[in-house]
Structure 1
Amino acid sequence: MVPLFHASLAELTPGIKAYIIARIARFWNTVLPASTVAVSIEMVLADDKGNAIHAIIPKEAMHHLRGKFAEGEVYKIVRFQVYDRKTSYKCVPGHNVLYFSSSTEFQKIITCGCWDKFPRYCFNFATINEIRARNEREPVLTDAVGLLTTIAPVTRVFVPSRGEDVDERDIYVTLSRISFWENHIHRLDVDALLAMELKPVLAITATTVREYLGKKTLWTTSGILVYVDLDIPQTRDLKEMYKDDKVGVQLHTAEEVDSCHGSTQADQDVAIDRLFYFTPNELRGQRFRVEARVIEVDTTNGWYYECCNKDCNLKAHEEKGGFRCTDHDSRFVMRLSLIIKDVTGSIQVTVFGNLAENLIGVQLTNTMVYGYFVKACKDDLSSSLKGKEPVGVDKQSNPIPITSSNAKYIPVIPPKLAAKLAETHLSPGSPRMPPESSAEDSPAKRIKHSHR
């Protein structure tokens, strides 16, 4: 019998005669694009020293070893080979990769007084700056963690390398866009995620960083695994950071997603004083992140606008003080004009649509109560939004009906929710302003031009 010694994962080198004791942090079937057949089983192992390594069971050994190990268990593993692999698509940093064969043995450790030293999960989460600096040639796959905010519908996307359309679904976690491709889409339990009362934190493994039209996006690989609200420090930190976000995950159309979310390419932290002195040319096409407090709500021009429900280009006609499309129904879009302030100064910003709804935790379509509206021709609603008096209800909390066909109307907001806006902070992790919120490209301006 060949004498073996116990080696840590960091001590493994090609040709070594040793055994290891490690926990299987995760494993998955590797399936190539345009195929449904696994070509290997791959896994991440972690030992009691905090080391991790990528291990592979090739196709010829899969039927011998399948079912002889389980995720989360600790094993003594004997008879394997160590290779120095400098190629890409590794799940953990480091040159060495383990290869198992039909001779490999997994001996489960039943009792062990030091189980807690073996990490249950092993991730290499990338920061937003690291994602910006990476590309598809990165040798190590990218793990990401973030608060799930938006799920887009499945769409058909043409893939030039394959000459065909494939299914693809985008999701958005804080500051990152992740594209799930065909065989990976089933990893998302969309119904369960949408049914959750609060946004969950997702830990997502083994993605590649791609760039398209200047935007960085994470693409799934066959190593993709999705963990929901894991009990890890990153989850607890994100839950604490977004503890005031009481809105669940949103399901948006592709158009809404594009208008509400940007890329990770050009988010710049700036102070308000610096932002104020940028010229329009310097601002065009750029994205900024500001940490500030909402100090005032300007409702001089109301807090919503009406547009065509189909986003068509037909001329609208004036009706009851507003404009209506001749062929389609109209819809309301929330528009909040806010005065925000940091230590350098204050500035007026406008937040549109779903971003505005998420900011105050109220969906505009849900605030319309049985066709009732509130007359608001010249009323200043700032004090109401700051909690002094509920918006859209009388002193007995009853909705106020339409009283004049010539008045300007706003939808009713339920009591107690209106006061949330004044307490809201815009932090580096908060929803960001869409590019079209600039003065020249805002939805309001586009609507105004279309009415001429």
Structure 2
Amino acid sequence: MQEPQQISVSKLIRGTTGVYMKVRVVRKWKKEDFRKAFVGEDFSLELILVDEEGHVIQATVGKALIQSFEDKIIEGYTYKIGRFQTFQNRGYDIATAHKCRLRFGSTTTIERIQALIPKSAFKFVSFQDIIDNNLDGRMLIDVIAEVDAYDMVSNVDNLERTYLVLEDLNGDKLRFWLWGQYVEDAKRISSEIKYKKEKPIVVLQCVLRVPHEGEIKLSTTDNASKILINPNIPQVHEFRARNANKPPRTRGIVHIKTKDILAGNIKTIDELKNIEKAGTYVIVAYITKIDKTFKWYYNGCKVCTCNAGKKADGLWYCSQEECVAHEIGNHYRLTRFQAKFYIEDAYGGKAFIKMFDKLIKMKVNKSVMQCIEKLKEVSTKESGSILHTI
């Protein structure tokens, strides 16, 4: 009988047999079973493995075998694994870009060994790629960034949530939502900012990219995500050094992306008004006034966030016919805050924009309510950009 041969992760293809690998387990988590008959149970045990060459692959232990392997596998340790199966890497919550995934079977062997294998295998993606949608939406991604701000913890359907505003080395910002068990990490981060008076560097492993209401955000996913605060790794030391040498940002200087210039997407307000084709455009303008008479909040549908109204049965119904909540009422609704801003560009063009609370807070670090309160302190006869008052 032929002896099994060692193989590297990069050479694995579907149907590979008669081989073994030496790998380190750099991430381990349980995926929940969301089928109605099995809610609350574990669906699978998921692993991210890295070999001696730094290549990564995901491995799955099915529901029936979790108890057989769970205690044998410890995150951070190195193993020799053999008699595994390979199949196409597909589905949701894909943690590596490898075309294949390993499946543990009843005959799979695993032996703890000593080996020189990298202790981490982060595949960091840039905020620009996240914003520009250059990634597979099913992929779990790794991110490194500085925490710029944080929000208070709220409770939605008995589940705690909060968010952090993250900033990368290019000054791009993204909102990162943390749910359930991950809220404790957010509390630790907020304590660092509050008491140490410094913005921590975070490494996010296996998080989701989520488009929502025109905004791209990051989010934790059930059990897979991991948040490291100021970890002692080379990538964080490099980030901190480059961040310290970054020139300070000056209010009033607008950074426009080269691709928008080349694509002709930069328009004046008057040009924008005459465009009939829908698309994404860039204008450079100043906020001159906030409309204090504008109704700056409304009751929103919990499903799609559009307007919702309360009927005689005491339930909230969505105004949009396409929404499931249009026919089926909900006991809850979301209070959606927004403000109306008047803007003016350098060519005299004027317009107004409506911005939701979360976008305002991300841009000026103040909520709609804080902006309104600030306006009450400023005389209505005062001229000049409202930016100076906010």
Give me the whole-angstrom Cα distance separating, in 1, the residues matched to 2:104 and 2:201: 34
Measure how far apart 1:105 and its partner are.
Answer: 2.5
| Structure 1 position 68 matched with structure 2 position 72 | yes
Give me the whole-angstrom Cα distance separating, in 2, the residues matched to 1:227 and 1:55: 22
Change (3 A) 1:153 1:84: same
Matched position secondary structure for 2:218: strand
Residue type of the partner of 2:22? I
Matched position secondary structure for 2:107: strand
Give me the whole-angstrom Cα distance separating, in 1, the residues matched to 2:179 and 2:7: 39
8 A contact 1:23–1:46 mirrored in 2: yes
Partner residue, 1:316: none
Q: Summarize the alignment of residues 276-425 of structure 1 with structure 2, pairs less than 5 Å apart.
A: 279=268
Matched position secondary structure for 1:67: helix
Partner residue, 1:45: 49
Matched position secondary structure for 2:244: coil
| Structure 1 position 54 matched with structure 2 position 47 | no
Q: Deviations over 1:97-126 (max 9, x none)?
A: 01113432221213x4xx1xx221112211
| Structure 1 position 31 matched with structure 2 position 32 | yes
| Structure 1 position 268 matched with structure 2 position 256 | yes
Measure how far apart 1:212 and its partner are.
Answer: 2.2
Measure how far apart 1:44 and its partner are.
Answer: 0.9
Find 2:162's aligned residue among 161, 169, 172: 169
Q: Deviations over 1:407-448 (max 9, x none)?
A: xxxxxxxxxxxxxxxxxxxxxxxx996399xxxx99866754
| Structure 1 position 229 matched with structure 2 position 230 | yes
Partner residue, 1:369: none
Measure how far apart 1:4 and its partner are.
Answer: 1.1
Q: Summarize the alignment of residues 104-143 of structure 1 with structure 2, pairs less than 5 Å apart.
A: 104-110=108-114, 112=115, 115=116, 118-134=117-133, 138-143=137-142
8 A contact 1:9–1:47 mirrored in 2: yes
Give me the whole-angstrom Cα distance separating, in 2, the residues matched to 1:239 and 1:104: 43
Partner residue, 1:97: 101
Measure how far apart 1:76 and its partner are.
Answer: 0.8
Matched position secondary structure for 1:64: helix
8 A contact 2:7–2:20 mirrored in 1: yes
Measure how far apart 1:32 and its partner are.
Answer: 5.1
Give me the whole-angstrom Cα distance separating, in 1, the residues matched to 2:40 and 2:149: 28
Q: Deviations over 1:253-291 (max 9, x none)?
A: xxxxxxxxxxxxx97348xxxxxx985668999688xxx
Partner residue, 1:335: none
8 A contact 1:18–1:78 mirrored in 2: yes
Find 2:364's aligned residue among 434, 438, 446: 434
Matched position secondary structure for 1:63: helix
Change (3 A) 1:433 1:181: closer
Matched position secondary structure for 1:211: strand
Measure how far apart 1:62 and its partner are.
Answer: 1.1
8 A contact 2:205–2:227 mirrored in 1: yes
Q: Deviations over 1:291-343 (max 9, x none)?
A: xxxxxxxxxxxxxxxxxxxx99xxxxxxxxxxxxxxxxxxxxxxxxxxxxxxx
Q: Deviations over 1:127-161 (max 9, x none)?
A: 1111012389623222211012222122234xxxx
Residue type of the partner of 2:145? G
Partner residue, 1:422: none
Matched position secondary structure for 2:231: coil
Partner residue, 2:8: 8
Residue type of the partner of 2:234? P
Matched position secondary structure for 2:22: strand
Residue type of the partner of 1:25? V
Change (3 A) 1:89 1:240: same
Give me the whole-angstrom Cα distance separating, in 1, the residues matched to 2:376 and 2:66: 59
Give me the whole-angstrom Cα distance separating, in 2, the residues matched to 1:227 and 1:119: 17
Partner residue, 2:177: 179
Give me the whole-angstrom Cα distance separating, in 1, the residues matched to 2:68 and 2:363: 54
| Structure 1 position 201 matched with structure 2 position 201 | yes
Matched position secondary structure for 1:167: strand
Pick which of 43-52 and 186-195 moved more: 186-195
Give the structure-1-normalised TM-score: 0.52
Q: List gaps (5 residues or longer) in structure 2.
A: 168-172, 247-253, 259-265, 274-280, 285-295, 298-360, 383-390
Matched position secondary structure for 2:25: strand
Query: Alpha carbon RMSD of aligned pairs, Å?
Result: 4.0
8 A contact 1:136–1:210 mirrored in 2: no
Q: List gaps (5 residues or longer) in structure 1.
A: 158-163, 246-265, 271-276, 289-310, 313-430
Matched position secondary structure for 1:268: coil
Change (3 A) 1:202 1:74: same
Change (3 A) 1:221 1:433: closer
Give me the whole-angstrom Cα distance separating, in 1, the residues matched to 2:143 and 2:209: 11
8 A contact 1:22–1:47 mirrored in 2: yes
Change (3 A) 1:94 1:432: same
Q: Deviations over 1:367-395 (max 9, x none)?
A: xxxxxxxxxxxxxxxxxxxxxxxxxxxxx
Matched position secondary structure for 2:21: strand
Query: How many residues in Structure 1 have an aligned counterpart in Structure 2?
Result: 272
Partner residue, 1:219: 219
